[in-house]
Amino acid sequence: MTAAEHRPALPDGLRDRVLAASLRARAAGRPEPAAPEISPAEAFSRAADAFYGMLGVLQAEDWRRPALRCLDVQGLVGHLIGVEEDVHRGLAGDPQVAQASHVESTQPAADCQAGRPPAETRAEWRRTIGHTLDLVHAVGDPGTEAAVHGMRFPLGMLLVVRAFELWVHDNDIRQAVGLPPAVPDPSALGLMTQAAAQLLPHAAARRGLREPTSVHLVLTGPGGGTWDIPIGHSPPAPAEVAIVTDAVGFCRLVADRTTPGRLDLHITGDQDRAAMILAAASALALD
């Protein structure tokens, strides 16, 4: 007889009682320890500060290194200058920038950096960031919608998406020049993972995933959390998939900077369905 066979059965109702008491003490989904809450504007400001600091340590030759698409580092910073300028127009309600292509619309700003002293590019980018923050402050209400590059978001979500973009390009440049990758602080990363989880159904829809699925998404590590996300049209009993991976890796996946195969994933439920959802996660990446 084994030790387990000696054990008395658990009393009826104990499981429900303990789980309910636990969830009353700490709601499901919330990471522990919880990172201090910050505003989307603060997350954007921190990402900009980190990016500016990273540019400050680059050597002159680093600015010429290939970074993304056909852009060198300086061109990529120029691309971001163009993005900020389009955001300024978006905040002003310009309908043209609302429908503009993220890459094509910013290409002139990227091209015109060629031959400039890097310090000028860096300073110009910083000025555009400052102007963005001034406009955000002037708008005030984080629920105010703004449309740019095919996205229409409340201002708060737009700033989180922009912080996400700055972090991703920060790492593009770091990779190009051989610097170690950066990770946002848990407060900022928490806003990014929240945005990534919120956008997952839309990414799946964009890739044509219509089959109803309930995704239990667990992002581990600082800035992580847990979400139950319905994907597709929801009948009474959709298929269920649980996906566990680390928060930073998932954000890199959403940004199209890694693939599902390179993540440390733990999946239960329909493996094929999970694979399709993970493959679709990057569908909203703008590059």
Partner 1 sequence: MKEAGARHVFPDGWPGIGLVGVGPCLVAGGRASVHEVGGTDALLAARLAAGDDHALAEVFDRLAPAVYSGALRVLGHDAAAQDVVQDVFVELWCHPGRYDPDAGPLRAYLTMQARHRAVDLVRSELRRVARQERSSRLEPGHPDPSPCEQMMASQTAAAVRAAIEMLPESQRRIVELAYFRGLTCREAAKAAGIPEGTAKSRLRLALAKLESMLDRQLLESS
Spatial separation of the C-alpha atoms in residues 120 and 125, rounded to whole Å: 8
Number of shown-chain residues binding partner 1 (CB under 8 A): 73
Query: How many Å apart are CA 125 and CA 127, to the nearest integer?
Result: 5
Binding partner 1 (rule: CB under 8 A), the pick from 31, 78, 90, 260 is 31
- Is the separation of the CB atoms in 19 and 135 below 8 Å? no
Which one of residues 110, 197, 209, 277 is an interface residue with partner 1 (CB under 8 A)? Answer: 197
Residues 240, 267 contacting (CB under 8 angstroms): no
Among positions 19, 57, 92, 123, the unique one binding partner 1 when judged by CB under 8 A: 19
**Tokens 């310009």 found at:** 94
Q: How far is the CB of 144 from partner 1 (least distance, A)?
A: 11
In sequence order, the 6+-apart residues with CB closer than 8 A to the CB of 88 are 128, 131, 132, 135
> Residue 194 interacts with partner 1 (CB under 8 A)?
yes
Q: Which amino acid is located at 255 in the chain? A: A
Cβ distance to partner 1 smaller for residue 28 or 119: 28
Site for partner 1 contains 102 (CB under 8 A): yes
Written as one string, the DSSP assignment of 148-203 is: ETTEEEEHHHHHHHHHHHHHHHHHHHHHHHTPPP----HHHHHHHHHHHHHHHHHH
Does the protein bind partner 1 through residue 210 (CB under 8 A)?
Answer: no
How far apart CA 104 and CA 213 sit, in angstroms, is: 35
12-20, 49-57, 67-75, 117-125 -> range binding partner 1 (CB under 8 A) = 12-20
Looking at beta carbons only, is 175 or 194 nearer to partner 1? 194
Query: Smallest gap, in angstroms, from Cβ of residue 66 to partner 1?
Result: 25
Binding flag, residue 266, partner 1 (CB under 8 A) = yes
Q: Which is nearer to partner 1, 120 or 145 (CB)?
A: 145
Near partner 1 in 104-133, by CB under 8 A: none
C-alpha 16/C-alpha 277 separation (Å) is 32
Q: Does 159 bind partner 1 (CB under 8 A)?
A: no
Does 279 participate in binding partner 1 (rule CB under 8 A)? no
- Pair of tokens at residue 46: 């921190």
Q: Contact between 240 and partner 1 (CB under 8 A)?
A: yes
Task: Name the minimum Å distance from CB 175 to partner 1.
Answer: 25
- What is the chain's Cα-based Rg? 22
- Cβ at position 153, least distance to partner 1 in Å: 5
DSSP states of 30-66 = --SSPPPP--HHHHHHHHHHHHHHHHHT--GGGGGSE
Q: Which two tokens stand for residue 105?
A: 């619309």
Q: Are 87 and 100 in contact (CB under 8 A)?
A: no
* Residue span 134-153 as binding mask against partner 1, x where in contact by CB under 8 A, dash where not: --------xx-x-x-xxxxx
- The nearer residue to partner 1, 61 or 141, going by C-beta atoms, is 141
Question: Interaction with partner 1 in 37-76: which residues (CB under 8 A)?
Answer: none
Judged by beta carbon, residue 15 or residue 127, the one nearer partner 1 is 15
Query: From the list 224, 232, 249, 260, which residue makes contact with partner 1 (rule: CB under 8 A)?
Result: 224
Residues in the chain: 287
